[in-house]
Structures are given as C-alpha cells and as structure tokens.
C-alpha cells in the first residue's frame, strides 16, 4: 500500500476522568502521547500522523515529541460522551481540506494502548488490502477466560448462565472468543467518512489477533502501574523509547 495514502490519528482529549492527565503521564521516560507519535514514525506504511486534541498542554507535549498538531479539536468533540467516530471524521476532513487530497486508509492509534508494534500496522494494512469486502481491521486478543464457559448473571438473587444455558462444561471444548482490545484500528477512508457511530461495524471487519500480554489499555492508575511494572521488569518492550528519549533531550 502506498504510504502517502494512509493517515494515522492519535486522539488525546484533555479531560480524562478515570485517570486525570493520563495522556501526559510518563511511562519509560516519555509521556504516553509521545509513545504513539514515535511509534507512528517507525511505521513506513503511515504517510502522515496527526494528534487530535482540545488541550494546549497536550499539543505542546506532542510537538515537543516531534508530533504534528495542525489544529485543536473543537470543544463539542471533546466531551465525555463524544464517540470516537466524529473525532476521526473531523480530523481526516480538516487534513484533507488543508492538503487538497484524499487518503485511502485511516489508522487509529489510541495513546492509552502503547504496546503495539510496527508489524501490527503492516499486518493490518496487508489484511485489508487483500480483502476488498472488509471495511476495516480491528485488533483483538484472546482473554484469559472464555465467557461461553464461565460467565454468569444474577437474576432474582440467583446465578444464571449469561447465555441462557451453560454452553460448554469444559474450557477445551469451547471455540475461542476474542475481545476488542483498542490497540489498533484500520478503516477504509470512504467507509469511515460516510458512516454513523451506530453503524460503524455494520460492514464486514477483519480481525488482527495480537497477544493478550500486549493488549493493555491504560484507563486507571492501577492500569498505569501495572504497565510501568511490566516495562521495568523487561516483560514488555517499547522499541522506540530510547530513540524518542534522545530526541526529546536534543
């Protein structure tokens, strides 16, 4: 795929409630926002990457990390209840208007999922490039438990199986169930721009399976501390971290 046809969007709202200031929290020597910026710079398939933020502070941190912040996101697209889709549509539309061109693919890089690798982007773009029916590719992973085996609900004070009956009694018998982990999304530009939030997954999407140990999303202090401990123990790698740290010092 032609790199100039792919744009990546890093959304970084300033008003996080679960973990205030999470996009600026320092992990392995860099703010979270910088990890996604430096990651995108390691992906040859990404022709342009921009940060969409409503925060002057996040914009400064992104620019310090050599990120591209061509405009600030309007306040109405930075609310707790704002879906991701209109944020992406706003960013793509503004960049295309500024450049006078149209992209073919849109990559979503959420700063709170820093453990993606460049080969994940390569695989995702290869998958969508080989399947013309697919509107997008979504990163998934296999959780440590299978809901078809162990998930229950409480009804009138008593345990009931979440699917109406116990579908499988042995974990080994159950087909795998995947969870959308937020690490990476890729969409065809034309589909994304004409879609509505409630119809985003109406068209066929392909799966990009990544290891569950890399499928970490930082939404609380506990999440952040777990990620920090795993990085310090050498169990998770951030291959751009040393390079990015050197860039920020210069």
Confidence class of residue 80 from pLDDT cuts 50, 70 and 90? confident
Are 214 and 122 members of one domain? Answer: yes
Measure the CA–CA gap between 78 and 84, rounded to whole angstroms.
10
**What is the pLDDT averaged over residues 211-220?**
95
Vertex 219, ends 227 and 249: CA angle to 5°? 55
Are 98 and 166 members of one domain? Answer: no
pLDDT digit string, tens, across residues 111-157: 999 999 999 999 999 999 999 999 999 999 999 999 999 999 999 99
| Residue 58 or 14, more confident | 58
Are 160 and 150 members of one domain? Answer: yes
Q: What is the CATH number of the domain that holds 28?
A: 3.90.550.10
Reported pTM: 0.91
Are 81 and 192 members of one domain? Answer: yes
pLDDT at 248 over 50: no
Domain boundary among 122, 153, 177: 177
Are 111 and 157 members of one domain? Answer: no
Are 129 and 73 members of one domain? Answer: yes
Domain boundary among 127, 160, 177: 177
Are 82 and 150 members of one domain? Answer: no
Are 106 and 188 members of one domain? Answer: yes
Provide the residue range defining the domain that includes 160.
144-177
Are 41 and 119 members of one domain? Answer: yes
Name the domain count of the chain: 2
Are 38 and 87 members of one domain? Answer: yes
Written in H, E and C, the secondary structure of the chain is CCHHHEEEEEECCCCCCCCCCHHHCEECCEEHHHHHHHHHHCCCCCCEEEEECCCHHHHHHHHHCCCCCCCCCCHHHCCCCCCHHHHHHHHHHHHHHHHCCCCCEEEECCCCCCCCCHHHHHHHHHHHHHCCCCCEEEEEECCCCCHHHHCEEEECCEEEECCCCCCCCCHHHCCCCCEEEEEEEEEEHHHHHHCCHHHCCCCCEEEEECCHHHCCCCCCHHHHHHHHHHHHCCCCCCCCHHHHHHHHHC
């Amino acid at each position: 795929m032609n790199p100039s046809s792919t744009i990546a969007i890093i959304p970084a709202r300033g008003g996080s409630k679960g973990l205030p200031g999470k996009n600026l929290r320092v992990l392995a020597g860099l703010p979270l926002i910088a990890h996604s910026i430096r990651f995108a710079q390691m992906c040859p398939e990404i022709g342009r990457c921009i940060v969409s933020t409503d925060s002057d502070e996040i914009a400064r941190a992104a620019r310090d990390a050599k990120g591209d912040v061509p405009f600030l996101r309007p306040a109405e697209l930075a609310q707790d209840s704002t879906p991701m889709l209109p944020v992406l549509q706003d960013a793509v539309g503004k960049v295309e208007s500024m450049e006078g061109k149209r992209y073919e693919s849109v990559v979503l890089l959420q700063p709170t999922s820093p453990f993606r690798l460049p080969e994940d982007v390569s695989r995702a773009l290869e998958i969508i490039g080989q399947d013309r029916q697919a509107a997008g590719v979504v990163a998934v992973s296999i959780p440590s438990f299978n809901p078809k085996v162990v998930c229950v609900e409480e009804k009138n004070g008593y345990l009931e199986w979440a699917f109406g009956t116990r579908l499988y009694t042995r974990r080994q018998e159950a087909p795998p169930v995947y969870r959308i982990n937020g690490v990476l999304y890729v969409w065809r530009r034309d589909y994304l721009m004409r879609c509505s939030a409630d119809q985003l997954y109406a068209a066929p999407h392909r799966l990009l399976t990544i290891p569950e140990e890399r499928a970490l999303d930082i939404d609380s202090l506990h999440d952040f501390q777990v990620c920090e401990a795993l990085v310090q123990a050498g169990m998770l790698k951030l291959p751009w971290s040393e390079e990015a740290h050197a860039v920020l010092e210069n």
